[in-house]
Amino acid sequence: MSATVQSIDTGPEEAVAPDALTDGFHLIIDALKLNDINTIYNVPGIPITDLGRYMQGAGMRVLSFRHEQHAGYAAAIAGFLTKKPGVCMTVSAPGFLNGLTALAHATTNCYPMILISGSSEREVVDLMQGDYEEMDQLAVAKPLCKAAYRVLHAEDIGIAVARAIRSAVSGRPGGVYLDLPAQLLSQTMEAEAGANSLVKVIDPAPRQLPAPDAVERALAVLKNAKRPVIILGKGAAYAQADDDIRALVEKSGIPYLPMSMAKGLLPDTHPLSAAPARSLALKESDVVMLIGARLNWLLSHGKGKTWGDAAKQFVQIDIEPREMDSNIKIAAPVVGDIGSCVSALLAGMGDDWPVPPSDWTDKIDTKKQSNMERMAPRLQNNNVPMDFHGALGVLRTIMAERPDTVLVNEGANTLDFTRSVINMYKPRKRLDVGTWGVMGIGMGQAIAAAVETGHPVLAVEGDSAFGFSGMEVETICRYDLPICVVVFNNGGIYRGSDVNPSGGSDAATTVFVKDARYDKMIEAFGGAGYYVTSPDELKQAVNEAIDSGKPSLINAVIDETAGTESGRIGNLNPQSVVSKK
């Protein structure tokens, strides 16, 4: 259905019948729908209120949030999950800025996303005359995304939307800003010309085949390896080349380490998973193949103590040529899309590829077994108050029984322990804080995961982390989404037991209200709240909540002293050499 304008009064002597006209509102809708973009994450207001209404009227799913940042995080993760740009729509200046954090986050994480913001009159903005919510949004957005475009004429909307889509998903994916000045929306043009101006993007993310000599070079390095390891990153999860990636790992016989959001690409219980022996695998390996993972801070930049003294060669598969040698020398760069690169490697391996020497794989297996055996009893404790391991032991079983559930996860200790304890069994089921370690992705990502996948969502949240997006529990209830939020309530950031060093009456900087009842928050909007203090109660509540398919929030009381400063990255905290406390 073309969304032509029905109600434009051009006077009694109009040359063109009103239903033969279209306008900016409807051209945007038609352009998005033509490109199979049917879901919008937004906060309404001037000048895009009607645009949202018309979108909903035209059959698009328009989800309204309580804050643009969460609509933005939803759009960003929708892009990761679907390989299509997730779209966030906001009002001008403050709404735009609220959405911008998520746009920058999407760009940093290589998720395709489009932030569409209304803006005020160009003439007034450019003369800085103080329009309603005035801001030169295009200039502000530019350094924080892959590309930023502004559309001034209705006839350019089709091209602008096409450009935004292609920019977001082609090459290394990322965030794109699309600026829509208010006056554009009501500009009219003849409907037929309007329809002809739209562009259906052909092959928005073209395959990029690796050069044959690059593939040969990589295979030569791999073949000579004595202690090889493969690192799978979230680019590998994004690429949706799941079968070939699994085949590559299995055919090569090389132990692999999944980065956080690549967990489940192969089941974490796979015999070649080296995750429980991560330190050993990084330190002692002689050849490392990175597939869609950057050597950024999360991998200690490929050097230092984490990587040990053994000489190493790196093979790196990435779509972005400039990623090569960004931190250390890459011996065999393979530039191309992961699907094409992995299938080229598979083809080049032939039928008699040698598996790695067994002294290496045995060493990893031994370490893995002993680490898993050490962990097992901690996960079975039924202590009250709960510690992280007691609570996570229960959630780990629940996720094993419900492998289609999407796990959203943020916090410090809550993040680190959940990542290492909870096994994932399917690709793209673990969604977390990403490259920046940003708090606040929780409810936005949970909402998008439920909307985009139709599967139940379990959000495991630190109490601080949850606070960043807590008001979106209303959004969850409003759309009646199958999301179970578990708040690991240890009364603060890292711990709830800190004291004010001055002895004053203000709470310490990292602690919150004692015995906070987060469960009551969701009850205010009709969701189910649970208050649990033991692993047994937690297990019962989560199973009941997920079975119900209804919005729920479980306040899981955790020992306020159980956490450590900054979780596992306390080493990144600068230390004062003068202060004693």
Residue type, 332: A
CB closer to ligand ADP out of 32 and 317:
317
Binders of ligand TZD in range 421-480 (CB under 6 A): 437-440, 462-465
The one-letter amino acid at 223: K
Does 242 engage in binding with ligand ADP (CB under 6 A)?
no
Contact between 109 and ligand ADP by CB under 6 A: the answer reads yes
Vertex 100 angle, CA 144 and 26, to 5°: 110
Residue-wise DSSP of 166-220: HHHHSSS--EEEEEEEHHHHH-EEEHHHHHHH--PPSSSS---PPPHHHHHHHHH
* Structure token pair of residue 300: 């200690």
If one counts every other C-beta atom within 10 angstroms of the C-beta of residue 12, the result is 5
Per-residue binding letters, 492-531, with ligand TZD (x by CB under 6 A): -xx-------------------------------------
Residue 57: CB minimum distance to ligand TZD, A = 36
**Cβ-based nearer residue to ligand ADP, 225 or 239:** 239
Q: What ranges in 62-119 are assigned the alpha helix state H?
A: 68-82, 93-109
Q: Which residue is nearest to ligand TZD (CB)?
A: 462
Q: How far is the CB of 239 from ligand ADP (least distance, A)?
A: 4
d(CA 318, CA 341): 9
Nearest-approach distance from CB 80 to ligand ADP, in angstroms: 10
Q: Is 173 in the site for ligand TZD (CB under 6 A)?
A: no
Q: Is 79 in the site for ligand TZD (CB under 6 A)?
A: no
**CB 9 → ligand TZD: shortest distance, Å?**
48
CA pair distance 460, 260, nearest whole angstrom: 14
DSSP state of 439: T
Give the nearest distance from C-beta 299 to ligand TZD in angstroms: 18
Residue from 164, 259, 277, 364 binding ligand ADP (CB under 6 A): 259
Nearer to ligand ADP, 338 or 448 (CB): 338
Closest CA to 72 of 536, 562, 541, 440: 440
Binding mask 438-477 for Mg ion (x = CB under 5 A): ------------------------xx--------------
Rounded CA separation 302/289 (Å): 12
Helix axis angle for 535-548 and 388-401, nearest 10°, is 30
Q: Is 234 in the site for ligand ADP (CB under 6 A)?
A: yes
Got the DSSP string for 273-287?
Answer: B-GGGHHHHHHH-SE
Q: Contact, 26 vs 3, CB < 8 A?
A: yes
Quick check: 292 binds ligand ADP (CB under 6 A)?
Answer: yes
- Tell me which of ligand TZD, ligand ADP, Mg ion, none is bound by residue 296, counting a contact when its beta carbon lies within the kind-specific cut-off of 5 to 8 angstroms: ligand ADP
List the interface residues with ligand TZD, window 393-422 (CB under 6 A). Answer: 411-414
Please give the Cα distance from 95 to 179 (Å, whole number): 13
Q: Which does 541 bind (CB under 5 to 8 A by kind): ligand ADP, ligand TZD, Mg ion, none?
A: none
Question: In b/e form, how buried is each residue of 367-391, taking b as 16+ CB within 10 angstroms?
Answer: bbeebeeeeeeebeeeeebbbbbbb
509: left (phi over 0), alpha (psi -120 to 50) or beta: alpha
One symbol per residue from 361 to 400: x for binding ligand TZD (CB under 6 A), - otherwise; what is it?
Answer: ----------------------------------------
Residues that bind ligand ADP (CB under 6 A): 109-110, 172-173, 233-235, 238-239, 259, 261-262, 292-294, 296, 298, 318-320, 323, 337-338, 435
Residues that bind Mg ion (CB under 5 A): 462-463, 490
Residues that bind ligand TZD (CB under 6 A): 411-414, 437-440, 462-465, 488, 490, 493-494, 563, 567
